Structure 1
């Protein structure tokens, strides 16, 4: 069972992750994976399992955070449901495959993958180059393939996919507020498929902490979900009060910091 201190830490993490999920459409995974990795290490979870448990639990919490966040964005007209419908099938396929791939990858590789992709996403958002005015979203087949890539990478690093989908949509001339809202909606299929995959992938492993279902750490899921569902609408409200340039900068700075921590974990694990 988790200690009282761990419960408090998870409540704080869930509150902050939920707020940032609503603010940036990131699903909270970019925050939860590094911090949960740190907390699980303090709890004595074996190093070769910490990142995988953190990734699986992060994905599961996004199921709840995404619902709360997307409702807040939807009422402001910021969710492009047509894009969601075209990307979601590929996302589900990619997420299921990514969870199985994560089972066999060393923890160092997962940590370094996380660091590389969030740093790339941060750079794209910080540069903020205006896309060509004629650039548009691809057709159905192109969006299915893009969804597969989003799902695969999201399952590997425990994120809702916004670190790819937000830069992708903005490069295709989708306004940043709509890209954030749509990414919040995409977080649910990413998280659900990835969670199922991690439960299946870790079902027979030894050495996992008590209270796990596969790689999923149930006590953390319960505590973080309660806190994040409450604070996600507050983040969504704040997002619509910021201008596009401010939102890009907040997104980029956050991703650089988290990428740096996971780079450290990957190099020192």
Structure 2
């Protein structure tokens, strides 16, 4: 039954990855926290495991989305290199930061972050005073910051990067495609770091690779790749305005649920 839950949320994460250029962690992380608690996994490592498994799953959701976006020639590869390099550095620092923060504070921060992103998506409006894209150094610094935040919360950073790129005159389809590609760097760095950092932890359940829980990862991956491919196709056919609004409401519910679960 739990494996079926993993498959369902893997499909949702993949669809969101293809549609919006995000890794789907804002949905996967709270779902994994709930599933791991039901399995009786030690509360002190549940959130760390959810983040690690989510980041690893993003490797596959990113690949599915990249494949379709590349066929549409929507990826701006000249932006990918400096941003992705920055993300690799920021993600490594973020994983080490996350492991020094008590899980309850990390969970509260995740809830606040999800609510903030929800409200940003609901009320953000396109402006005529957009900024031009900066040089490689500034793009690298931006990538590092997004990578750091993403590693803290187990997300792909697509929400942040898409917003950044569209505010700098990049059309939404290309911003989504580029964010999907850069998210792959976050996933690789985050997965590797969490595997190493959690290695040998005595409270980890069996079938764990560091903080990555392999049964959950298998369930997520079994549906996420194809779903991401499908989501990317939809992104090139339809306006994402209504879907973004629905996703914003989902983010709000997820954020509130994470905060409420701390006390109840």
TM-score, normalised with respect to structure 1: 0.92
Inter-partner Cα distance in structure 2 for 1:42 and 1:184:
32
2:14 aligned with 1:8, yes or no?
no
RMSD: 1.6
| 1:142 alignment partner in structure 2 | 138
Q: 1: CA distance between counterparts of 2:85 and 2:124? A: 29
**2:13 aligns to what?**
17
Structural mapping, 1:209-248, within 5 Å? 209-248=205-244
- Alignment partner, residue 190 of structure 1: 186
1:134 is displaced (CA, Å) by 4.7
2:78 to 79, 82, 85: 82
Farther-moved stretch of structure 1 (98-107 vs 53-62): 98-107
What residue ranges of structure 2 are gaps of 5+ in the alignment?
A: none
What SS does structure 1 have at the residue aligned with 2:237? coil
* Map of 2:168 onto structure 1: 172
Taking a change above 3 Å as real, the CA distance of residues 238 and 123 of structure 1, as seen in their structure-2 partners, is same
CA-to-aligned-CA distance 1:194-253 (integer Å, 9 cap, x gap): 111111211132211111111010111122112111211111122222214324323422
Q: Is the 8 A contact 1:24 1:251 kept in 2?
A: no
1:252 is the counterpart of 2:248: yes
Among 26, 30, 51, the residue aligned to 1:30: 26
Distance in 2 between the 1:163 and 1:259 partners?
A: 15
Asked whether the equivalents of residues 29 and 59 of structure 1 are also in contact (C-alpha less than 8 Å), the reply is: yes
CA distance in 2, matches of 1:173, 1:252: 23
Instruction: Please state whether the residue corresponding to 2:203 is helix, strand or coil.
Output: coil
**Equivalent of residue 157 in structure 1, options 153, 157, 165:** 153
Contact kept, 8 Å, 2:25 with 2:155, in 1: the verdict is: yes
Q: What displacement does 1:93 show?
A: 0.4
Q: Are 1:268 and 2:252 counterparts?
A: no
Structure 2 residue 52 is matched with structure 1 residue 59: no
| Cα distance per residue 1:135-179 (max 9 Å; x no partner) | 112211111111111111101100011121111112222222222
CA contact (8 A) 2:115 2:251 kept: yes
1:39 aligns with 2:32: no
1:50, distance to aligned residue in structure 2 (A): 0.9
TM-score, normalised by the number of residues in structure 2: 0.94
Aligned residue pairs total 264
Name the counterpart of 1:91. Answer: 87
In 2, the alpha carbon distance for the partners of 1:85 and 1:204 equals 34
Note if contact 2:131-2:167 (Cα within 8 Å) is conserved in structure 1: yes
Question: What is the alpha-carbon distance in structure 2 between the residues aligned to residue 257 and residue 73 of structure 1?
Answer: 30
